[in-house]
Structure 1
Amino acid sequence: MTTLPDRPNTALLIIDVQNGVVAASTNRDDVIANINTLVARARTAEVPVIWVQHSDDELKKGSESWEYVPELAREDTEPLVHKNYPDSFEDTDLESVLAEHKVGRLIVTGAQTDVCIRSTLHGAIVRGYDATLVADAHTTEDRSQYGAPAPEQVIAHTNLYWRWHEAPGRQGGTVETAEVTF
């Protein structure tokens, strides 16, 4: 239902599942296992798997904390998008990668739920994409010391409000790993 013309394809987007990002995240191992399941299914279906990797002053490019977790293995042919802002589209080549693959629908996974996941979901909808959040394949760490709810509540709330998100000609939505269709 995307508003982007000639974009019939779907891509799996894996956002910031890096050592320093998910080290203290809720349900880390289960989320990574679900992402691995989705990666395998996407590859089998010949659906593009697009990796997004964040860097900033605290997450130095090339450092161990900047590296993707060892449980996830990117293939050399799979695009890697480097970013410096929460929205994976902002000042990156993500849009051109998606255009090259004629993608109009994104299946979104990764971390942190309350920062980069939310920003990218909204960024996708604003740019004309359909964006489905995999409800059990995203995570965040405990930021309650800064006034945020517990991570389980952040994840549940994001799943709740994104389930019904839509805009003219564009659709949000959530789905469990087992229910993802490519």
Structure 2
Amino acid sequence: MTTLPDRPNTALVVIDVQNGVVGEAHERDAVVANIGALVDKARGEGVPVVWVQHSDDQLEKGSEAWQYVPELAHGESEPVVHKTFGDSFEGTDLEAVLARAGIGHLVVTGAQTDQCIRNTIHGAFVRGYDVTLVADAHTTEDLSAWGAPPPEKVIAHTNMYWQEQAAPGRTAAVTDTANLTFSR
């Protein structure tokens, strides 16, 4: 039900599952395994997989920290979008990549829940996309020493409020890996 004309397709978006981002993330192995299962399912159903990779002073391009985790490998024909801001659309070619493929619905996974995931799901929604957040396929590190809630609460809160998002002509949804269907 996207507001984007002629965009009937769905894509799986994998955000920042990089060594330096998820190394200390909450339930890292389970989340990475869920993302891997979703990537396999998307590929099996012919659903495009779009990889997003962040770089900054702590994640220098080409460094070990910048690399995607070894459990996840992008396919040769799958686009990799390089970003330097939290919202995967800002200063990137993500919109062009999605437009070329007729994508109007994003299924979002990755890290960090309280930064790049939230920024991207909101950025997509205001740009007219339908957005499904996979509840057990995003994570964050523990920033409670700096006043943030514990990671499990950050994740639960994000899942809770995203399922209540509403806007004209767009849908927001939350589902888990086992119940995700790419068809709308």
Partners of 1:178 and 1:23 in 2: how far apart? 24
Aligned to 2:112: 112
Q: Give the match's secondary structure for 2:6.
A: coil
CA deviation after TM superposition for structure 1 residue 136, in Å = 0.2
What whole-Å deviation, never above 9, does each CA across 1:112-145 have from its counterpart, x for those lacking one?
0000000000000010000100000000000011
Partners of 1:17 and 1:125 in 2: how far apart? 22
Amino acid at match of 2:3: T
Task: Map residues 27-176 of structure 1 onto 2, 5 A cutoff.
Answer: 27-176=27-176
CA deviation after TM superposition for structure 1 residue 173, in Å = 1.3
TM-score between the two structures when normalised by the length of structure 2: 0.98
Amino acid at match of 1:85: F
Amino acid at match of 1:155: I
Partners of 1:166 and 1:105 in 2: how far apart? 15
Q: Give the match's secondary structure for 2:76.
A: coil
Partners of 2:79 and 2:160 in 1: how far apart? 30
Partners of 2:73 and 2:60 in 1: how far apart? 20
Q: Bigger shift: 164-173 or 30-39?
A: 164-173
CA deviation after TM superposition for structure 1 residue 97, in Å = 0.3
Q: Which runs of 5+ in 1 are unaligned?
A: none
Amino acid at match of 2:6: D
Q: Which runs of 5+ in 2 are unaligned?
A: none
Q: Give the match's secondary structure for 2:65.
A: coil
What is the root-mean-square deviation of aligned Cα atoms in Å? 0.5
Amino acid at match of 2:160: L
**Structure 1 residue ranges, 4+ long, deviating more than 6 angstroms after superposition:** none
Aligned to 1:180: 180
Q: What is the identity percentage for the equivalent residue pairs of Structure 1 and Structure 2?
A: 67
